[in-house]
Chain A
């Protein structure tokens, strides 16, 4: 399998705080990778490196190399960041639809990136909603406000929104943490299906979820990547004592 994302000795500082300490990782294409670890371990910060979302924060410093498709994404000029972000979609912890209609939420990424062809946009919106398994539920109320959907539907809308511009990577920051078990189940099913088209990285607190949906798992602790391996291996036979302790619920 081709390597999609590669990080070499990545360090991240927020001011004086050393948030990530020399992370090395190689993520193969069209797989699901789960990042686990206790709160504040740096897994979300790590995720946000891949679409340069950390750029927004004052006093942030990044060292090391992060390669996507063999391109160092921190070497590209600021003007190329938008292009990078079209390639790397993101889904957030809580559903965060825009104050717009369902249709316009999904069409947003297409419009802001210069597409005007109505037919094309309609087609992409439908495709994305179908991929997110939401089409049947919303096809008759595309003009309704996105806030009228339930929490689970909103989150799938956000996934559709991210997919509409056809990224190749999907970053998910605890996408089900604010949802009920049934909605969570739907999201997990979705992740499993999306794997055939996307490289997915998912941050999660939920051990079962990581073991259910992911092919690879990385365990973070206090800014370090303790262990990174196939999910089966991590959950059945971890190499490090700390990993085992965390997975079996002995801390965190």
Chain B
């Protein structure tokens, strides 16, 4: 007969209590740090935001006035990049999930889009500059920036599309085929409508991502200071994230433009927050609808 140390269970319990408390404290601290970041910026920035801040041109070396051109610039960039990336991404997702046969080609396409997702955003910036700005001669412009951002958002949209299509039960497809519908018709009339809310979630998250990216637009669109609104897609433009970068690191008077920086940061956080909430809303709204059926 072996005998175990008499106090072993108490010791085990003691160690467990310590370990669990450490894990608990670390988790709460992480939560605390993250809330601190949000709170710190919101507290200093929310007061800055008013009608003038949103609708006026920057003035006095960007220490006063508003951020209208940056808002408009980001709006253009988001809109245009999504107009490009969304259809291409959704069609690619359809290709990967519905058309590509298992095997080398599908593997290749998946591997490539996976790798695209891992490419650092500054590399997209380099590529955008080499191809769109220089080779294709768009110059630093909304067009070049939107194309660059579209490439960056593409893997995200492909992946969400693919996953939402994968989630559609095959019985729907078989039922449609049984009624004599072709593949394309089945996808259009049956599969896509079911998968659509999830695909839209991808679009919303893509918007959140694109609106905050700085590195890809550094050399493809961004204007340091341009107190007028862009007239065409070949114009340079200001953008919110780049504006925040500029006025917090290299403005004419960094201290004086701090309030504007906080305000810009708040706008960026609110966009991400809003897009996340919207995506969650779409997701939960949709899943409730399915349950009701």
Residues of A in contact with B (beta carbons under 8 Å apart): 79-80, 82-83, 86, 110, 112-115, 120, 124, 165-166
Contacts and interface: CB of A to CB of B under 8 A. Distances in A.
Contact of B12 (A80, A82, A166): A82
B5 A114 contact: yes
Contact of A86 (B4, B10, B11, B13): B4
B1 interface: yes
B5 A82 contact: no
Interface string B1-29: 11011001111110000000000000000
Contacts of B9: 79-80, 82-83
Nearest to B1: A166
Main secondary structure of the interface of B (DSSP, over half): helix
Q: Which of the four size classes fits the interface of chain B? A: 10 to 19
A217 B9 CA distance: 35
A115 B5 contact: yes
Interface of B: 1-2, 4-5, 8-13
Contacts of B12: 82, 112, 114
Main secondary structure of the interface of A (DSSP, over half): helix
A179 B9 CA distance: 35
A115 B2 contact: yes
Contacts of B2: 110, 115, 120, 124, 165-166
B8 A114 contact: yes
A196 to B, nearest CB: 16
Across the A-B interface, give the 6 residue pairs with the lowest CB-CB distance, nearest first.
Answer: A114-B8, A114-B5, A82-B9, A113-B4, A113-B8, A166-B2
Nearest to B8: A114
Contacts of A112: 12
A79 B8 CA distance: 11
A115 B4 contact: yes
A112 B11 CA distance: 11
